[in-house]
Amino acid sequence: MQKRLFAEFLGTFWLVFGGCGSAVLAAAFPDVGIGLLGVSLAFGLTVLTMAYAVGGISGGHFNPAVSVGLLAAGRFPAKDLIPYVIAQIVGAVVAAAVLYFIVSGKADFAGVGGFASNGYGDASPGKFSMGAALVMEVVMTFMFLMIILGATTGRVPGGFAPIAIGLALTLIHLVSIPVTNTSVNPARSLGVAVFADGWALQQLWLFIVAPIVGAAIAGVVHNALFGEDRAQLSGAVPAE
């Protein structure tokens, strides 16, 4: 269990540091910024690389919503949920703290502002409403879990799941960054919100509730549609 929890800590750390770091440090860097496409790709690459690096140890969740979705699908033991979520949150907060330290070392540092936090209304990149943000996060997390659950079945050739999952997260960001700055991950949202402006913590509830709801629905739906294949599933952390 200690190895599995450290793997979840490390994977979530890399997701937040690499993904949010690309948004904070490189997205609009003068003249050579990577933009929305680059940030989307960065998030996808963090999941893809760590799924290969430590996914075989912990199952490669790196996201409380993923753990909840796998639990709802019968792919993850309930007794491990809280330890996994704690490890993921700690990894996200530590990554955000390291990123904050780096950002604060800039010569003209005057605060981190939104710090790649998720938001709605005036805090949304495109000024989308709370309702729009809620629907976007539920739908995107639902689809993310459906892809994860499908890509890790015994019907899929082994070793390719991280590619599908990483590309799915990239696509999710390409669609939803203008609406919410893309969460689909409560740990990612919480980690940077701790260091961002006050509005980030005030709106954090949506980016905890919506991904968990979307993931739980996906777990139930996947079981209802493909429950007969559960014996072949290979992506779950085995119950002890």
Radius of gyration of the chain from Cα atoms? 17
Residue 56 amino acid letter: G
Mean pLDDT of 87-93: 98
**Structural domains in the chain (count):** 1
CB contact at 8 A, 69 and 215: yes
Portion of the chain with pLDDT greater than 90, in percent: 81
* Domain span including residue 96: 2-104+115-232
Give the DSSP H/E element, type plus range, for residue 209: helix 204-226
175 in a structural domain: yes
Question: Taking the CB of residue 178, how many other CB atoms lie within 10 A of it?
Answer: 15
Confidence label for 159 from pLDDT (cuts 50, 70 and 90): confident
Q: Is residue 187, in this structure, part of any structural domain at all?
A: yes
- Residue 98 domain-assigned (yes or no): yes
- Tell whether 154 is covered by a domain: yes
Chain segment 9-21, per-residue pLDDT in tens: 999 999 999 999 9
- pLDDT for position 161: 93
Of 174, 183, 191, residue with least CA distance to 123: 183
- Does residue 110 belong to any structural domain of this protein? no
What mean pLDDT comes out for the span 153-171?
A: 89
pLDDT tier for residue 110 given thresholds of 50, 70 and 90: confident
- Hey, what are 173's tokens? 């960001």
Residue 44 contacts residue 192 (beta carbons within 8 Å): no
Give the confidence band of 23 by pLDDT, cuts at 50, 70, 90: very high
| Strand blocks (E) in 53-192 | none
The tens digit of pLDDT for each residue in 218-236 reads 999 999 988 755 444 334 4
Does the residue 238 lie in any domain?
Answer: no
More confident residue, 28 or 94: 94
Q: Say which residue the tokens 């599995």 belong to.
A: 4
Tokens representing 31 are 């003249």
What pLDDT is attached to residue 229?
A: 52
What CATH number did the domain enclosing 195 receive?
1.20.1080.10
- Is residue 64 in a domain? yes
Tokens of 3: 């190895």
Whether 237 maps to a domain, the answer reads no
